Amino acid sequence: MLKNKALIVGIDDYSQAPLGGCVNDAEEIAKLLEENEDGSPNFSVKLKLNIQTKAELLKNLHSLFKEGESDIALFYFSGHGTDEMAGQIVTPDFNGYDMGISMNDILQLANASKSRNKIIILDCCYSGKLGDFSDNSPNANIGKGVTILTASNRDEVAIEDGITGHGVFTELLIQGLKGGAADVGGNITPASLYSFVDQSLGAWEQRPLFKTNITGFLPIRTVEAKVSKKVLRKLHQYFAEATSEFQLDPSFEFTNTPEVTHEYKEPFAKEENVGKFKELQLYESVGLIEPVGEEHMYFAAMNSKSCRLTPLGLHYWKLSRDKRF
């Protein structure tokens, strides 16, 4: 039984100010969250397109955050937002100052949820007002286990990309969920997703916001690991200490054999060392180790140099040593 649930909402159908990419946004996000890259089930998704009334949206939010428990309860919204009344997400039946649902009301529903992690992702104008203390609102507190990811700052608009058919923010979320935001082990968390989006935007573009009150993130999607857990677990075996260097020599390079027509050196390639070198090269390809005294691992082996952990490698070395994965 799935332990993650998601309410995905996209609204284009506003009579006075229609949008063009929000339904596309919601459909693509829903598709990616339903399954991990390997096809295994991920979120139980409720996809709602062009919801017409505040009451209908509120009913679905109550269902997400108040009914039952889950590891992750995730709400994604793409549509209009307004800065009226400390920020609201807009529904098509807006009237006067009642534009839709207050961002603070959404936050309070998430705060009260019994789900382990509550994630709110808003791709709308002024979405940064969610959980914003600058309005001195007593309802702006971010409860335990709540994470907020928004397309823009409290006083910024969110932009649609006419080329991709998605909002600028959601297009980057999509790329991140496809693997751009994955760590070495293939895990994508809200924090890594925010980092990916933030680094992808230029200095003059809308700025996403990330707010959280959580001690540890659960992955919201997994993709194929850049290095398998089986190989990662060996990292501490290659490097006994954090400052250790692993000695290489020509026997680690599989092409260093008389059967291959080019320069070769003794000791010739040994099957055992070739296998180790392939794993070391995997580490090097994702930035966990680096050659010492040479630019490339090939030359480090052929010239009998060594390799060592990078700062990122040290992090995974500790996880390997402590059997954390």
pLDDT tens digits, one per residue of 110-133: 999 999 999 999 998 878 777 665
Token digits for 303? Answer: 């010239």
Is residue 29's pLDDT more than 90? yes
Distance (Å) of CA 145 to CA 61, 74, 189, 194, 312: 17, 12, 13, 17, 27
Q: Determine the residue type at 98.
A: D
Burial class (CB in 10 A: 0-12, 13-18, 19+), 314: middle
pLDDT in tens, 250-276: 999 888 877 766 667 889 889 999 999
Domains assigned to the chain: 4-222 (3.40.50.1460), 229-321 (1.10.10)
Determine the pLDDT at residue 205: 63
**Region 161-189 average pLDDT:** 83
Determine the pLDDT at residue 127: 81
Residue 72: closest CA among 106, 29, 110, 127: 110
DSSP letters, 144-209, are: TTEEEEESS-TT----EETTTTEEHHHHHHHHIIIIIT--TTSEE-HHHHHHHHHHHS-TTS---E
Is residue 158's pLDDT more than 80? no
Residue 54: closest CA among 79, 29, 22, 18: 79
Is residue 156's pLDDT more than 70? no
Which phi and psi (to 5°) does residue 47 adopt?
-100, 120
pTM above 0.85, yes or no: no
Determine the pLDDT at residue 86: 76
Lowest mean pLDDT across 20-24, 201-205, 256-260, 266-270: 201-205
- Among residues of the chain, what percentage have pLDDT more than 70? 90
pLDDT in tens, 63-115: 999 988 899 999 999 999 888 877 889 999 988 778 899 999 999 999 999 99
Q: pLDDT class for 164, splitting at 50, 70, 90?
A: low
Token digits for 125? Answer: 């104008």
Strands 4-10 and 43-49: parallel
Determine the pLDDT at residue 161: 56
Is residue 162's pLDDT more than 70? no
**Region 311-317 average pLDDT:** 86
Token digits for 26? Answer: 């919601």
| Spatial separation of the C-alpha atoms in residues 77 and 70, rounded to whole Å | 20
- Tallying the residues shown for the chain, one arrives at 325
Determine the pLDDT at residue 241: 94
Determine the pLDDT at residue 203: 63
Q: At what angle do helices 168-175 and 22-34 cross, to 10 degrees?
A: 20
Q: Which residue has the tokens 């089986």?
A: 230
Token digits for 129? Answer: 């007002």
Summary mean pLDDT of the chain? 87
